[in-house]
Amino acid sequence: MATGSRTVRPRSSVWLSERKAPKRKGDQQPVGLDHLKIVAATMRLLDAEGLSGFSMRRLAAELGVTAMSVYWYVETKDHLLELALDAAMGEIALPMEAVGSVEGHEHSPAEPRDWREQLRQLAAEYRQVMVRHPWLPALLGEYLNIGPNAVVFSNAALAVMRNSGLPDDKITSALSLVYQFVYGFGTIEGRFAARCRAAGLTQDELFHEMMSSVADRMEFDESRKIMKARGGNTVEEMQDRDFTFALDLAIAGIEALRDR
């Protein structure tokens, strides 16, 4: 793609690369190191320090090796982040009925759940993985996200939505509604949790501190009434209530438009 006189090339992907591990004369493959260890250490560092604190040099120090040792297994930092992204997607527990339908197996008669319950499971799991890894939402916007775990997740989600009865030309739109809702909700929730950890406060402590500061400076009576009616004694309870009801609204909308 050209922009004026400048050519913009798409970012390379680890999933499309055919490059093998780099080898220079005299180099020997590091002992006791492999992809799994490297990706696990990457995720630990990202969880602890975020994307801004992550570097290949920092990762090598964490592993107790040289940076060149890491490059035996990954070509670039971007490729490593792609691997971490897909490993995080692999933490999502999928509805077995949906996985079975993707793989061509019969649904288990022991779990006769309908598509709504399966969709709620997918959404809840997707939310949890983004909160657990606050760096994940940024990577979802940067990379293709076409690794094996992401593909299994995507196929399971398509199977669930197909069972809703929506016509094929509406399935991706309905999934976009759910994906973007969970993405936004999980991103804000994860960033707030990370901010609390950095401040050495619980979520409830920081929430009440922020609300007190706002109440001292603004007319907050109407919002205070709404917050009271919202229910929940803790931030976690309030978030769960909001998430559950908002997801119910999305599912109800899908059903209403399908039946229309």
* CATH value at residue 126: 1.10.357.10
Is the residue at 4 inside a domain?
Answer: no
Half-sphere exposure of 213 (CA within 13 A, CB side): 6
Claim to verify: residue 248 and residue 136 sit in the same structural domain: yes
Claim to verify: residue 124 and residue 197 sit in the same structural domain: yes
Claim to verify: residue 141 and residue 242 sit in the same structural domain: yes
Q: In the predicted model, is pLDDT for residue 209 greater than 70?
A: yes
* CATH value at residue 54: 1.10.10.60
Q: In the predicted model, is pLDDT for residue 196 greater than 90?
A: yes
- What percent of the chain has a predicted confidence (pLDDT) above 90? 63
Six-digit token string for 77: 């930092």
User: In the predicted model, what is the mean pLDDT of the chain?
Assistant: 86
Is the residue at 241 inside a domain?
Answer: yes
Is the residue at 225 inside a domain?
Answer: yes
Cβ neighbors of 75 (< 8 A, separation 6 or more) are 12, 14, 17, 19, 22
Q: What are phi and psi of 2, to 5 degrees?
A: -110, 140
Claim to verify: residue 74 and residue 173 sit in the same structural domain: no
Domain that holds residue 146: 115-256
Claim to verify: residue 51 and residue 121 sit in the same structural domain: no
In DSSP terms, which residues pair with 7 in a beta bridge?
Answer: 2
Claim to verify: residue 119 and residue 248 sit in the same structural domain: yes
Range of weakest confidence among 32-41, 134-143, 208-217, 250-259? 208-217
Q: List pLDDT tens digits, range 54-69.
A: 999 999 999 999 988 9
Claim to verify: residue 78 and residue 129 sit in the same structural domain: no
Q: List pLDDT tens digits, range 90-149.
A: 999 998 877 765 554 444 444 557 999 999 999 999 999 999 999 999 999 899 899 999
Q: Is 85 exposed, middle or buried (0-12, 13-18, 19+ CB in 10 A)?
A: buried
Q: In the predicted model, is pLDDT for residue 203 greater than 90?
A: yes
